[in-house]
Structure 1
């Protein structure tokens, strides 16, 4: 692979990292609303939301391997990822192609750092920078909820109906629409749709292939994202987890070699 091909290859992967971060940052902007613990007058929908909260995957640490397929208007790529997280602290991601690591990212409460191992470069962004560039707020805690496959945007404002073996939750207001499809038996989140009509921004997330983790929690091993916005265009990302371990010791090394040049 010549230098020009290296550059194109690396830029594609670095852009893929950036867009993946935007997906996680941008569509994790709605904080979950905890229901009051002592409210004796909860509606049936509020009780359902409370039950969903208790069923969420709980993890102080997360360590996973995954295959990622990424398609946008300009890029179509696939590769392998290692994803780790420490609750309330950081998310760490490496992307590899043909057995070689090409990019590494570290997300903390206030920053995103990206290593480009092909061009020996690194970048540092504030979450607020990515938020302003893509007109989307960022939130580390919600990023971690997305990784775990937990429902987000939970609030008292939901209306609920039942259709077959699914609960259908919807919240329409303040220029945003949120819809969820939940299994009635296991309370698994199967589909989430988020729409901002005024901003021409939408997210569709399917969660499939639920199975038990090492500590017997119910986890979706296949995620299918479709995002469309003015900032990103239409982007499709499939994440197939091949190995998941919760609440095990992890490390998140992120040393920047001296030969690496910082770029904006």
Structure 2
């Protein structure tokens, strides 16, 4: 996997929420065999994030080819409008809006500016701003009200899956019985040999909102595997935020042909 691909994945997936006064949510809910898919979707929707802005420092450790590296990034979000990420010492910066993705990398002196095609190619899932934001907040990548789902259980979670899975994409969503946020999102594309699993290992209560605390991501394409672990610190909600972004002069543009 090319360096810029890894950099973008780290920046974009290494986002979630925490709070200086946060309280870890205990997973004490009991599973009911009688709950329907419709009820699960309704309860899950009640937990959608309601904050206006978020700021955080996020510690990210990732492993590729048995080599582990660490980053710390600053994250700012204006919900439904902007996601801004700045790596330590300004080595990389990204700004994502509903109509544009921008990113630059000072290590390799390169940048990208365009639509969501590049991100969709990287993760193997058609993405837009809403999906990226939802992934980072422990919410479903897909609008559950748009499809037909069936419900089942395992020992610790409720499981939602489309009533009819396809050869192009198999989807499994595991919901926490305590608060109905995601325990895990698992997307398999057998024909393209791609697999993405996002596990939400712990949640916390921040100003009466249930938001992720620890996340683990595993992305596999052919024989390449990346594992990312995140720890979220020093987060504040609903404060004024700024989104400075300017591509440095002399950087080489990343073109879509290189991403495929």
Match of 2:80 in 1: 88
Map 1:124-139; keep pairs closer than 5 Å: 124-131=113-120, 136-139=125-128
Task: Please give the per-residue CA displacement for 1:168-222, whole angstroms capped at 9, x wherever unaligned.
Answer: 2222512222112222232232122111112211111111221122x22111111
Rounded to whole Å, the distance in 1 between the matches of 2:72 and 2:123 is 26
Q: Is the aligned partner of 1:144 residue 2:133?
A: yes
Q: Is the aligned partner of 1:157 residue 2:151?
A: no
Scaled by the length of structure 2, the TM-score of the pair is: 0.76
Unaligned runs of 5+ in 2: 15-34, 255-260
Contact persistence 1:16–1:70 (CA under 8 A):
no
Q: Is the aligned partner of 1:254 residue 2:211?
A: no
User: CA 1:199–1:16 in structure 2 vs 1: closer, same or farther (change >3 Å)?
Assistant: closer
Unaligned runs of 5+ in 1: 1-10, 25-42
Contact persistence 2:124–2:194 (CA under 8 A):
no
Rounded to whole Å, the distance in 2 between the matches of 1:191 and 1:261 is 38
User: CA 1:22–1:121 in structure 2 vs 1: closer, same or farther (change >3 Å)?
Assistant: closer
Task: Give the alignment partner of residue 236 of structure 2, picking from 233, 245, 249.
Answer: 245
Rounded to whole Å, the distance in 2 between the matches of 1:234 and 1:110 is 29
Task: Please give the per-residue CA displacement for 1:232-259, whole angstroms capped at 9, x wherever unaligned.
Answer: 92111111111332332211111344x5
Rounded to whole Å, the distance in 2 between the matches of 1:135 and 1:161 is 26
Match of 1:224 in 2: 216
SS in 1 for 2:245: coil
Q: Which has the higher contact order (CA 8 A, sep 6+)?
A: 2
Q: Is the aligned partner of 1:182 residue 2:175?
A: yes
> Which protein is bigger by CA-based radius of gyration?
1
Task: Please give the per-residue CA displacement for 1:1-21, whole angstroms capped at 9, x wherever unaligned.
Answer: xxxxxxxxxx95x44322336
